Structure 1
Amino acid sequence: MQKPLIVATSRIIKLLANITKVLSYPFHWVLPNKRFTLPEQAAPLLKDGKPGPIPRIIWQTNFTDRVTLPVYLNYLFNRLMAPRFEYRFMITEARRAFIAEHYPEILPHYERLQIGAAQADLWRLLVLHKFGGAYLDIDAHQIWPLSCVLGAERKELFVTTRRGELSNYFIASAPGNPNLARLIDQVVLNIGSDASNNVFHLTGPGVFNSLLDRSLLPTVSYRHAVHQGNFTNEHFQYIDKPQGKWNHEQRNISVLKEDAVPDTPQHSAFNKTR
């Protein structure tokens, strides 16, 4: 009975979100330079509640913390849908600083990535492996309370698409997840071997679907957890980024810099030391 209720709720949210998106066009026509600031860190709106194995943290990243009204409304909605979760956000420079501090052996591989989306793909795996929590893309929004989606006992949760494939726009995990360690190892190996010039296959969902067995993973359909692109769209997300979305960027530049290939960290050493 709950799933039909979630789907019905998601349709109402989609309608309301799209109304705010349409109204944002005249708003930014009148105020073309108006931007809202996403906080680097924000405390939970509500303090009570029992934490489960997955820490109550929402992680997001973007090339800038100064965003348009639709992106900011998307952020506010996620906060309301996860009131007992802390919020943490990193821009490009903060992502690099995090990796330099906690994963210095992976930094040379990270720095070969020239496209922000590919960098964010690797960063989200590392930050969840280190601290745990739930990662959402900047245009993703919950359609059901996050605490209910995660449950009290789960140690990880992956989202599946309309076609039943794994995606990485929503990932939830406890720290030290061996599946995330495997994904990190594979992404680093892909970068070191110039495995692809496509973000999707080099660092993104293609890695998840080639490496992980969906039948052995706890998964949730996007229909019952997290949607994308209802509050915002490419215009509002990349209004201050002429290069546009990653799929446009990779048509014009190589995903990987033509630097000397760094030594790949030993997989066993990574798993033992993290």
Structure 2
Amino acid sequence: MTRHSPFAGAMLSRHVVGRLIKLTGNVFKLLSYPFHWLLPDKRFTLPAQAAPLIQPRRPSVIPRTLWQTNFTNRVTLPVYLNYLCNRLMAPTFEYRFVSTEARADFIEANYPADVLRRYSRLQIGAAQADFWRVLVLHAQGGVYMDIDAHLTWPLDRVLGAEREALFVRSRKGGLTNYFIASRPGTAELKAVCEAIDDNIAGNRECGVFDMTGPGVFNRVLDIASVDSASYRFFCLQGSFTNERFQYVDKPQGKWTREQKVVGVLSREEGNEASRGIERR
């Protein structure tokens, strides 16, 4: 008789639940086409802040705050359903949506002026969001998730009470940045913040992916030494929504198209030395 380890059983359970949620999301995504055909201007509002649905029973090292940002908080039905899925899978977490304007306000309040100045040179919203997400987690901690990412397992069970950070591995095995969980002030996040800051200060026009996105994580962090897990077992992308539903109100479209016609950085004469990332 073959015995299966509890760990293998737990991973199988996560995989099965993840597939069921993905299937459900795809069904809702399909149904959203006739919905928005009938109601093309209908939008749903993501709250700037929402209290936990359930009060946690114990403290955790990683603050129970779920951070998201987007070019607008007025979203289509699939994006809103994606948000509701995350609220149900993270009921003990406070929800915080940060607008484009509020991102800059946060950086101004928590970091020196030169960090805000370099952030403001980023001309593509996705690049700004890339930089802001690591700055907000470095300063306050919590969990960041892209607007199209959704949990497939309860977030409290994924993180536990003692974990200090968790990164997600992509299909190809590298680190990505659509999900990041961390306590404030980790050395890993500081290193990523400083690398992005250096890229901007050095006028390195290398595209969003390598200037502010996952390329930075894979260049700066050692995947073997950071706490990471495969996306398959707790966080997926694109089940509930897709590029059409995400960017229907943004003529420039996704950053992959936008960077073909707009430089990532605004022009600035010469290079400057980055002074590093220090919180106020």
Normalising by structure 2, what TM-score?
A: 0.94
Whether the aligned pair in 1 keeps the contact of 2:70 and 2:99 (CA below 8 Å) is yes
The 2-side partners of 1:88 and 1:261 are apart by: 37
2:171: which partner in 1?
Answer: 162
Q: Which amino acid aligns with 1:192?
A: A
* 1:71 and 2:50 aligned: no
Counterpart secondary structure, 1:195: coil
1:220: which partner in 2?
Answer: 229
2:155: which partner in 1?
Answer: 146
* 1:258 and 2:270 aligned: no
Shift, 1:195, TM fit? 1.9
Runs (5+) with no aligned partner, structure 1? none
Change (3 A) 1:43 1:100: same
Whether the aligned pair in 1 keeps the contact of 2:79 and 2:241 (CA below 8 Å) is yes
Q: Which amino acid aligns with 2:10?
A: Q
The 2-side partners of 1:229 and 1:4 are apart by: 22
The 1-side partners of 2:187 and 2:270 are apart by: 26
Greater Cα offset, 252-261 or 57-66: 252-261
Q: Which amino acid aligns with 1:96?
A: A
Q: Which amino acid aligns with 1:136?
A: M
Whether the aligned pair in 1 keeps the contact of 2:201 and 2:274 (CA below 8 Å) is no
Shift, 1:10, TM fit? 0.8
Equivalent residues in 2 for 1:45-194, closer than 5 Å: 45-103=53-111, 104-194=113-203
Equivalent residues in 2 for 1:200-239, closer than 5 Å: 200-239=209-248
The 2-side partners of 1:261 and 1:60 are apart by: 34
Shift, 1:93, TM fit? 0.8
Greater Cα offset, 226-235 or 91-100: 91-100
Percentage identity across paired residues of the two chains: 56
The 2-side partners of 1:261 and 1:138 are apart by: 35
Q: Which amino acid aligns with 2:95?
A: Y
Counterpart secondary structure, 1:105: helix
1:8: which partner in 2?
Answer: 16
Greater Cα offset, 241-250 or 47-56: 47-56
The 2-side partners of 1:68 and 1:262 are apart by: 41
Greater Cα offset, 115-124 or 144-153: 144-153
Instruction: Encode CA deviations 1:193-236: one digit per residue, 9 max, x unaligned.
Output: 12233100000000000110011100011011100000000000
C-alpha root-mean-square deviation of aligned residues, in Å? Answer: 1.2
The 2-side partners of 1:248 and 1:265 are apart by: 29
Whether the aligned pair in 2 keeps the contact of 1:188 and 1:264 (CA below 8 Å) is no
Normalising by structure 1, what TM-score?
A: 0.96
The 2-side partners of 1:55 and 1:225 are apart by: 18
Q: Which amino acid aligns with 2:91?
A: P
Q: Which amino acid aligns with 1:112?
A: R
Shift, 1:151, TM fit? 1.6
Shift, 1:153, TM fit? 1.0
Shift, 1:48, TM fit? 3.1
Greater Cα offset, 103-112 or 133-142: 103-112
The 1-side partners of 2:59 and 2:28 are apart by: 33
* 1:25 and 2:29 aligned: no
Change (3 A) 1:264 1:97: farther
Q: Which amino acid aligns with 2:212?
A: T
Change (3 A) 1:39 1:7: same
The 2-side partners of 1:48 and 1:258 are apart by: 47
The 1-side partners of 2:250 and 2:153 are apart by: 31
Shift, 1:39, TM fit? 0.5
Whether the aligned pair in 1 keeps the contact of 2:66 and 2:145 (CA below 8 Å) is yes
Change (3 A) 1:201 1:239: same
Q: Which amino acid aligns with 1:40?
A: A
Runs (5+) with no aligned partner, structure 2? 1-8
Shift, 1:262, TM fit? 7.3
Whether the aligned pair in 1 keeps the contact of 2:144 and 2:181 (CA below 8 Å) is yes
